């Protein structure tokens, strides 16, 4: 991992070691009139092959740049986070939008959600087909809900699924995209490979049952069973990547935060399945500071949707970040609210990851500078997680593929890293 968070002034960053205590607070001030803001993105928690590391990092860099471009143009956090998600969805290497995992029927159904920390409004879609950028529909649902009630006093929807979501999107000017155009060579290859694995698994189970019942017990039959298992093991080794939900979190120059997620869901999922990326408090969370909460917080999750839904991990992490030490708070939240959660007591492998940030305003009396202090972290129990981050002052984004320590067991151990920056502005 690069050891600096480069700014226009080349100020040093404090990158937070996995087992360190509180991060050091470094100044990252700017000249009056320049943009202020920060974005942190992820390309999914799962397994990122070394052979495609450049592609994963590149899409994270592009997503960060898109968000920063919007921030520099004066956009608020919710617009910038949408721009980042569109870039992530458009990449054929991510499991979101274009190139998403296919379900049992060979179809693409996507989930996405977005939350505005300033208004606390939220918009989401689930099991949505035929839309290139699901986050655009979620974003439009959020903005339409902010307009107030519909005719005859009806409450506007904030979460739509399936055909209803697709029809609503078309009615609001979001163009459709044929499913065959959304599937890529990579996603189709993965579908065929997964289908073969399912067929082999069913064959193994059938033959195992026959052996147990004594119908077939000769050496040739047992040998055939061993061959099938060997083929399945080889299929596992050839699996190039296993990724999940992509996401982004942003803080703008006014200190507003926003978060978003998008996902094609689990490979070979049942049609109609909705994952955490669409669900309130599970896929993302964003909340500006208030009297009860001194910090503004934003969270985006990734991993096994069923695990993340049952723990409402996004909201749990957001609440934990109000503690004094953000690093320790996230570490404890991942351990007690996720890995050792009573809601997942029956699971021997708990898979998930989060990116988080928290920010607050502080005034340096010696220089009369009002600064925005941003602490950002990521943590995961999966083998790896690809992240990128950038401030509005940086010339380019930093990227990193975080991996579990050697010997650590995925689903039972976790990695945690991050940093902190101070975005300064002249006080009024």
Q: What is the pLDDT of residues 229-244, one digit of tens each?
A: 555 455 444 444 466 7
Tokens of 45: 């928690």
Flag whether pLDDT at 8 surpasses 50: no
Neighbour count for residue 396 (Cβ, 10 Å): 11
**b/e per residue, 219-254, with b = 16+ CB within 10 A?**
eeeeeebeeeeeeeeeeeeeeebbbbbbbbbbbbbe
Q: How far apart are CA 240 and CA 198, in angstroms?
A: 17
Q: How far apart are CA 111 and CA 274, in angstroms?
A: 7
Q: For the chain, first and last CA: distance in Å?
A: 38
Residues 344-369: tens digit of each pLDDT: 999 999 999 999 999 998 866 555 56
Residues 143-199: tens digit of each pLDDT: 999 999 999 999 999 999 999 999 999 999 999 998 889 999 889 998 999 999 888
Residues 267-316: tens digit of each pLDDT: 999 999 999 999 999 999 999 999 889 999 999 999 999 999 999 999 99
Helices (H), 239-348: 305-311, 313-320, 326-334
Question: Is the pLDDT higher at 336 or at 210?
Answer: 336
**Closest listed residue to residue 414, CA positions, set 318, 312, 331:** 331
Helices (runs of H) and strands (runs of E) counted in the chain: 10, 15
Tokens of 363: 């005034």
Residue 41 β-bridge partners:
248, 388
**Closest listed residue to residue 65, CA positions, set 377, 385, 395, 299:** 395
Tokens of 415: 């990695």
CB-based contacts of 246: which residues, under 8 Å, 6+ apart?
A: 41, 42, 43, 44, 85, 88, 89, 94, 95, 96, 261, 262, 263, 302
**Residue carrying the six token digits 């010339």:** 395
**Cβ atoms of 320 and 330 closer than 8 Å:** yes
Q: What is the pLDDT of residue 229?
A: 54
**In this structure, are strands 415-426 and 27-28 parallel, antiparallel, or unpaired?**
parallel
Q: What is the pLDDT of residue 144?
A: 97
Question: Is the pLDDT higher at 340 or at 240?
Answer: 340
Flag whether pLDDT at 1 surpasses 50: no
**Cβ atoms of 391 and 360 closer than 8 Å:** no
The number of angstroms, rounded, from the C-alpha of 56 to the middle of its chain's C-alpha atoms is 13
Q: For residue 373, give the H/E element and its range.
A: strand 369-380
CA atoms lying within 13 Å on the CB side of residue 165: 31
Quick check: helix, strand or coil at residue 258? strand
* pTM exceeds cut of 0.75: yes
Q: For residue 88, give the H/E element and its range.
A: helix 77-90
Residues 377-421: tens digit of each pLDDT: 999 999 999 999 999 999 999 999 999 999 999 999 999 999 999
Q: How far is CA 220 from CA 169, 224, 226, in A?
A: 57, 6, 10
* DSSP 8-state secondary structure symbol assigned to residue 240: -
Q: How far apart are CA 213 and CA 235, in angstroms?
A: 28
Tokens of 161: 């699924």
Q: How far apart are CA 167 and CA 236, in angstroms?
A: 39
Q: What is the pLDDT of residue 361?
A: 87
Flag whether pLDDT at 91 surpasses 90: yes
Max Cα–Cα distance, the chain, nearest Å: 86
- List active site positions: 245
Q: How far apart are CA 313 and CA 331, in angstroms?
A: 13
């Amino acid at each position: 991992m690069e050891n600096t968070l480069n700014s226009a002034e080349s100020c040093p960053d404090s990158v937070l070691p996995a087992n360190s205590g509180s991060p050091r607070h470094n100044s990252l001030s700017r000249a009056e009139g320049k943009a202020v803001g920060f974005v942190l993105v992820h390309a999914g928690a799962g397994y990122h092959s070394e052979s495609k590391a450049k592609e994963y990092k590149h899409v994270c860099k592009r997503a960060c740049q898109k968000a920063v471009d919007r921030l520099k143009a004066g956009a608020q956090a919710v617009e910038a986070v949408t721009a980042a998600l569109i870039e992530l969805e458009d990449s054929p290497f991510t499991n979101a939008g274009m190139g998403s995992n296919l379900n049992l029927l060979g179809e693409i159904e996507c989930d996405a959600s977005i939350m505005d920390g300033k208004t606390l409004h939220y918009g989401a879609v689930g099991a949505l087909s035929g839309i290139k950028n699901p986050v655009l529909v979620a974003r439009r649902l959020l903005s339409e809900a902010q307009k107030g009630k519909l005719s005859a006093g009806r409450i506007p929807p904030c979460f739509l699924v399936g055909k209803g979501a697709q029809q609503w999107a078309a009615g609001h000017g979001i163009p459709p995209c044929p499913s065959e155009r959304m599937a890529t060579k990579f996603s189709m290859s993965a579908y065929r490979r997964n289908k073969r694995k399912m067929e082999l698994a069913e064959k193994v189970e059938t033959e195992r049952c026959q052996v147990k019942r004594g119908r077939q017990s000769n050496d040739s039959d047992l040998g055939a069973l061993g061959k099938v298992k060997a083929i399945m093991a080889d299929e596992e080794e050839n699996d190039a990547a296993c990724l999940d939900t992509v996401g982004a979190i942003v803080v703008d120059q006014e200190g507003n935060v926003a978060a978003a997620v998008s996902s094609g869901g689990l490979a070979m999922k049942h049609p109609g399945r909705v994952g955490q990326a669409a669900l309130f408090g599970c896929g993302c969370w964003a909340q500006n500071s208030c009297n009860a909460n001194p910090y503004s917080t934003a969270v985006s999750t990734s991993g096994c949707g069923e695990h993340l839904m049952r723990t409402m991990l996004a909201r749990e992490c957001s609440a934990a970040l109000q503690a004094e030490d953000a690093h320790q708070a996230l570490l404890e939240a991942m351990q007690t609210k996720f890995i050792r959660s009573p809601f997942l007591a029956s699971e021997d492998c708990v898979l998930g990851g989060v990116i988080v940030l928290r920010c607050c305003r502080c005034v340096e009396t010696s220089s009369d500078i009002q600064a925005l202090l941003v602490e950002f972290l990521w943590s995961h129990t999966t083998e790896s997680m690809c992240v990128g981050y950038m401030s509005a002052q940086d010339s380019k984004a930093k990227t990193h593929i975080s991996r579990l320590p050697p010997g650590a067991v995925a689903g039972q151990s976790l990695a945690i890293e991050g940093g902190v920056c101070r975005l300064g502005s002249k006080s009024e």
